[in-house]
Amino acid sequence: MSRYPVYFAGFGTVVLFVASSMFSVAGPPHTDEPADNAPATSDVAALAAAIDEHIAARWKSEAVQPSPPADEAEYLRRTYLNLAGKIPRVADIREFLDDPSPNKKAELVDRLLESPAYVSNFTNFWRALMLPEANANYQIRFLVPSFEAWLREQLTRNDSYDHIARELVAASLSANPTQSPQVQFLGSGPIAFYRAKQFKPENIAAGTSRLFLGIRLECAQCHDHPFATWKREEFWSFAAFFSGISGETNGQFNDVVTRKEIAIPDTDKVVQAQFLGGATLPSSSGTRPRAALAEWLTSPENPYFARAATNRIWAHFFGLGLVDPVDDFSEYNSPSHPELLDLLAVQFAEHTFDVKFLIRAITSSKTYQLSSRQTHESQADPHMFARMTVKGLTAEQLFDSLATATGYFENIPLRSRFVVQNNSPRAKIRELFANENATPSESQTSILQALALMNGKFVADATSIENSATLAAVIDSPFFDTSGRVETLYLASLSREPRADELARLVEYVDSGGAKGSAKTALGDVFWALLNSSEFLRNH
């Protein structure tokens, strides 16, 4: 049963809206070898069970009654959106619902993790975190294709998370004189991370600590942190690791790889590079400062790295982190489930920082498989994880789901999807729905966004008899009666079959010809309304 009933009136108008503690992460020494693609099934099951035990213990102590399990269609759509970044096709839905295998959920996750859609979706996920400047700065957007190409390569190989972090932090930034001026300006791969932050040590330090440590260290840039223990000198000692990087006005950049000191602005004080927590870089060390930082950052003993990463991944699947906001680890912002966060971090490190291992465990848990329907007042607090949090779709998820539902084919190479001067439907959706700064669980559809979907050319064309591949196939099929056509449109858009009352009402509407006396046009009205419904616009 759906949590979101879809209401129709007139020619198909739809009601749109609905309402830390420090610890050491033990683990084997890390390597640059790709993570194991197939962790032991017993390890996945054990961690999934541990997740459920920790969550259930909190429910018991707080007298919380969890929601019932999600039905198969709800689980399928949710998992497709989380892993593939789009809704499933009708054929995929029918195949999954008809599959009698007791292991079909785990098998679905395995298939999606090995699919190009997973790589594309998590390229978008990590790029949005690593280059947040691209969402608002048109100049920075020119850097995105090269950066996404680098990320896509790492994810295709299933490189471990610590490997990706080291590649980014310790990247060589020296310009190659044999490259074209354009390539030298834009850089390739990790260079985009530094250029987006204007090659300024303070910007790079702030971005690195937020991204990989979950610490808002920039609050100590001008004065001691008002709500944490970080001091101004600690901020600049961390920034000193990046002090050799500078950008020139002509777009060229320099990287003095051995520099490891920096002057604190408006003072006479010069500080040496120092890891958070007090350890300093030995003066006799021949290791480049940024390389040494990368090794410290990704060490299994680092008390921040694994916890920050697991918290982000948890938040991707549940709508909010165990620490919320996800980049605000401090003594004033404790985890909702500290023992669970510690356990996830330990397991992540012990499994060589394999993101897919965490994903398999999370999606195997009963907690992840709960319905999003609120069935008891005790489920109101999302930090209890007593029901699945309803999340807004990202712009990329929305466009790719619309394309899947309507049969739209996008003839644009992956490397061109984020080009600034791109008048494609994807670019227009991205501009309108660029809510990357919003918490997924708090994302709201604005009036302008709703009007664009209701009246915009892309959805209008995609639901017209003349232009919609899905609608044409449904109308022209000799195997469907009106009931079958309505059911197929539900599967194509909402990934579920209509309820009996929905089906009866809509069959009557279509057979009557709707507002214009045409059954075909009435089917278009139904499809349009489904694509504009709050159920379609949310991941639940």
pLDDT band at 248 (very low <50, low <70, confident <90, very high): low
Q: Is the pLDDT of residue 25 over 70?
A: no
Q: Is the pLDDT of residue 195 over 70?
A: yes
Q: Is the pLDDT of residue 490 over 50?
A: yes
Average pLDDT over residues 368-382: 97
Report the sign of the C-alpha dihedral through residues 377, 381, 384, 390, in that order.
Answer: positive
Beta bridge partners of 469: none
Q: Is the pLDDT of residue 95 over 80?
A: yes
Of 142-156, 241-255, 321-335, the range with the lowest mean pLDDT is 241-255
pLDDT band at 13 (very low <50, low <70, confident <90, very high): very low
Average pLDDT over residues 72-98: 98
Predicted pLDDT of residue 39: 61
Predicted pLDDT of residue 251: 52
**Which one is predicted more confidently, 226 or 491?**
491
pLDDT band at 66 (very low <50, low <70, confident <90, very high): very high
Q: Is the pLDDT of residue 22 over 50?
A: no
User: Can you read off the two tokens belonging to residue 143?
Assistant: 């850097």
Domain coordinates in residue numbering, the chain: 8-17+392-539, 41-114+301-383
Average pLDDT over residues 442-471: 71
b/e 500-517 (16+ beta carbons within 10 angstroms → b): eebbebbbebbeeebeee
Predicted pLDDT of residue 521: 92
Average pLDDT over residues 269-285: 82
Q: Is the pLDDT of residue 230 over 90?
A: no
pLDDT mean across residues, the chain: 84
Q: Is the pLDDT of residue 488 over 50?
A: yes
Predicted pLDDT of residue 17: 26
Predicted pLDDT of residue 332: 86
| DSSP character string of 170-191 | T---PPPTTS-HHHHHH-STTH
Cα–Cα distance between 526 and 509 in angstroms, integer?
A: 9
Predicted pLDDT of residue 448: 57
User: Can you read off the two tokens belonging to residue 197?
Assistant: 């932050």
**Which one is predicted more confidently, 180 or 202?**
202
DSSP 28: P
Predicted pLDDT of residue 226: 62
Residue 29: is it exposed, middle or buried by C-beta count within 10 angstroms (0-12/13-18/19+)?
exposed
pLDDT band at 12 (very low <50, low <70, confident <90, very high): very low
Predicted pLDDT of residue 187: 52
Q: Is the pLDDT of residue 422 over 90?
A: no
Q: Is the pLDDT of residue 268 over 60?
A: yes
Average pLDDT over residues 78-91: 98
Strands 261-263 and 245-247: unpaired
Cα–Cα distance between 165 and 308 in angstroms, integer?
A: 12
| DSSP character string of 286-301 | -S-HHHHHHHHHT-TT
Of 34-43, 322-331, 484-493, the range with the lowest mean pLDDT is 34-43
pLDDT band at 14 (very low <50, low <70, confident <90, very high): very low
Of 16-20, 28-32, 158-162, 167-171, the range with the lowest mean pLDDT is 16-20
Predicted pLDDT of residue 445: 58
Predicted pLDDT of residue 428: 76
pLDDT band at 258 (very low <50, low <70, confident <90, very high): confident
Predicted pLDDT of residue 232: 87
Predicted pLDDT of residue 266: 87
- Express each pLDDT in 336-363 by its tens digit: 999 999 999 999 999 999 999 999 999 9
- Express each pLDDT in 112-169 by its tens digit: 999 999 999 999 999 999 999 887 776 777 888 889 999 999 999 999 999 999 999 9
Residue 15: is it exposed, middle or buried by C-beta count within 10 angstroms (0-12/13-18/19+)?
middle
Predicted pLDDT of residue 275: 94
* 362, 368 contact by CB (below 8 A): yes
